[in-house]
Amino acid sequence: MSELSKAVTTGSTSIPAKKKRKSMISPAVTYPVITVVIILGIWEIFGQIGMIDTFIFNWPSNIIASIWQFMANGAVFEHLLTSFIELAIGFALALIGIPIGLALGYWRKLDYAFDPIIIALYTTPVIALTPLFILWFGLGLLSKIMMVFTMSIFPILINTTAGVKTTDTSLIKAARSYGATELQLFKEVIFPSSMSYIVTGIRLAIGRAMIAVVVAEMLASTQGIGYAIRHASELFKTGEYLGYVAVLMVISVVLNQLLKVLERKIAPWRF
């Protein structure tokens, strides 16, 4: 019935709606684009009239030229590959936070026991440990992988635990009533119900993982996007420097948006 009425209403309005859509893009898209274009334009003008000292800062057209250059000679892709490998391995290891979080959420006593430690480690700026990690794990990939791991495991773990704890008790009752074993309870109720929390945790963790990689590479490395940023800044190549930062920005925005879409796909009833 409701299906039918929906079909009827969309059917009757579809012709005028389509005509309009040609000239009008959603304001959710046009408004932010306009804001950004205006800001970039003013910034560019300030640069062109000589108000910006390229020794300490730069303006859009120069930044774009630098980006074009390091894309053309492929330098950026080598740095990105290094950073990506560190990030991917460290992140894959941090996914161990999912089973740990499931266990902590399910067995309350385990949670009581470890909660203070986890909260302490999550809230202290672990990034301050980077020099120590470099002493322990060397100048190569390992120290970065370990930093990524340490930075990203906690949001994953904490969100997974929260997901388990917020599992609707009446769903657990229903599953038990229909004869679910402990294992089936996890598979059929607790895990799917925590899934969107887990993805949220992953989204938060990726932000922290990127910080970990960039900071560790800046401190001690000869490759990777963090190294490239530091290197350019040391040579006072501000255009190149800001170009790399822009690349990082674009990557993190895209990743973040993709994961938000995924969250919504996984749990449409939560949004």
Scan residues 116-135 and list those touching other proteins (CB under 8 A): none
Closer residue to other proteins (CB): 184 or 222: 184
Going from the C-alpha of 203 to that of each of 200, 230, 259, 260, the distances in angstroms are 5, 26, 6, 8
**Smaller CB distance to other proteins: residue 113 or 174?**
174
Contact flag: residue 44 with other proteins (CB under 8 A) = no
Shorter beta-carbon distance to other proteins: residue 55 or 271: 271
The answer to the question of residue 238 lying near other proteins (CB under 8 A) is no
Work out how close the CB of 86 gets to other proteins at its nearest, in angstroms, rounded to a whole number: 34
The rounded distance, in Å, linking the Cα atoms of 240 and 54 is 11
Among 118, 126, 189, 202, binds other proteins (CB under 8 A): 189
Q: Which stretch binds other proteins (CB under 8 A): 71-79, 129-137, 164-172, 209-217?
A: 164-172
Residue 195 within binding range of other proteins, rule CB under 8 A: yes
Q: Compare residues 55 and 269 and give the one whose CB is closer to other proteins.
A: 269
Quick check: 269 binds other proteins (CB under 8 A)? Answer: yes
Reduced 3-state DSSP string for 184-228: HHHHHHHHHHHHHHHHHHHHHHHHHHHHHHHHHHHHCCCCCHHHH
Contact residue for other proteins among 12, 13, 73, 184 (CB under 8 A): 184
Q: Choose one: 29-37, 103-111, 170-178, 251-259; the region binding other proteins (CB under 8 A).
A: 170-178
Q: Is 174 in the site for other proteins (CB under 8 A)?
A: yes
**Number of residues forming the site for other proteins (CB under 8 A):** 23
If one asks whether residue 171 binds other proteins (CB under 8 A), the answer comes out as yes
Residue 5 interacts with other proteins (CB under 8 A)? no
Interaction with other proteins in 61-80: which residues (CB under 8 A)?
none
**Which residue ranges make up the site for other proteins (CB under 8 A)?**
2-3, 168, 170-171, 173-180, 184, 188-189, 192-193, 195, 266-269
